[in-house]
């Protein structure tokens, strides 16, 4: 009877030792698993970080490439066409009040903003699109202008005899009539009509102006007309 009890106690001791061993082994395996999991997570984060940095670098290069491409395209456009830019109005700012039936001179400062010199037969021509038929020259000789140089161009005309708002449009062109660059304009207001006896024009001559002009100063969207 005592022998059986002793064997039973030994068995129980062995079972307890086995369970303790298993708990220790499982705990060690669990700790190793958590370490591996943490290492994998850190590696994954590092990989994501590297991918994000690479994506940003590629995006930056792509943006720089597009910017360079646009710049090259712009330079290419400049290289094969004539360009005229309006710099400032030297005389008669927009919507100036002018006396009726009086000679006046409008002067603009223009710049050759392209890479090609303007030809020797360049001229500023009157264009009637949306404008009044001002009593002035149809074209004014300008001549050759080198790239990045500025030139002042003037047009003298006679203001209308009747009150109203008037505007006339002009644009640079080559000798054979090919227009280039921005439009420029003269915009003014006649506030009162000149008395008939004070007019210097021949009464029998045809009137080039409407009785009351309705043309308005150009909107911001019309300030630049490029071709």
Report d(CA 172, CA 122) in Å as an integer.
7
Report d(CA 168, CA 133) in Å as an integer.
7
Instruction: Enter the pTM of the model.
Output: 0.54
Residue 212 burial by CB count (10 A; 0-12/13-18/19+): exposed, middle or buried?
exposed
80 CB-near residues (< 8 Å, 6+ apart): 116
CATH tag, 84-222: 2.60.40.10
pLDDT in tens, 128-144: 766 677 888 999 999 99
pLDDT in tens, 65-103: 666 556 555 555 566 799 999 999 999 999 999 999 999
User: Where exactly are the structural domains of the chain?
Assistant: 1-80, 84-222
């Amino acid at each position: 009877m005592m022998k059986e009890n002793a064997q039973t106690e030994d068995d129980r001791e062995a079972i307890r030792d086995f369970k303790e061993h298993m708990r220790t082994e499982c705990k060690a395996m669990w700790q190793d698993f958590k370490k591996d999991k943490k290492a994998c997570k850190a590696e994954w984060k590092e990989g994501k970080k590297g991918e994000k940095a690479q994506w940003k670098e590629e995006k930056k290069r792509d943006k720089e490439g597009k910017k360079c491409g646009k710049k090259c395209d712009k330079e290419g456009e400049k290289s094969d066409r004539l360009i005229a830019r309006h710099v400032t109005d030297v005389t008669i700012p927009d919507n100036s009040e002018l006396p009726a039936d009086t000679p006046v001179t409008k002067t603009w400062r223009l710049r050759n903003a392209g890479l090609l010199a303007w030809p020797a037969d360049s001229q500023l021509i009157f264009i009637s699109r949306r404008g009044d038929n001002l009593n002035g020259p149809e074209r004014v000789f300008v001549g050759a202008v080198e790239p990045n140089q500025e030139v002042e161009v003037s047009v003298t005309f006679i203001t209308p005899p009747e009150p109203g708002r008037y505007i006339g449009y002009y644009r640079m062109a080559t000798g054979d009539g090919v227009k280039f660059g921005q439009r420029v304009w003269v915009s003014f207001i006649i506030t009162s009509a000149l008395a008939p006896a004070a007019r210097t024009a021949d009464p029998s001559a045809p009137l080039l102006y409407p009785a009351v002009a309705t043309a308005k100063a150009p909107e911001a969207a019309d300030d630049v007309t490029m071709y």
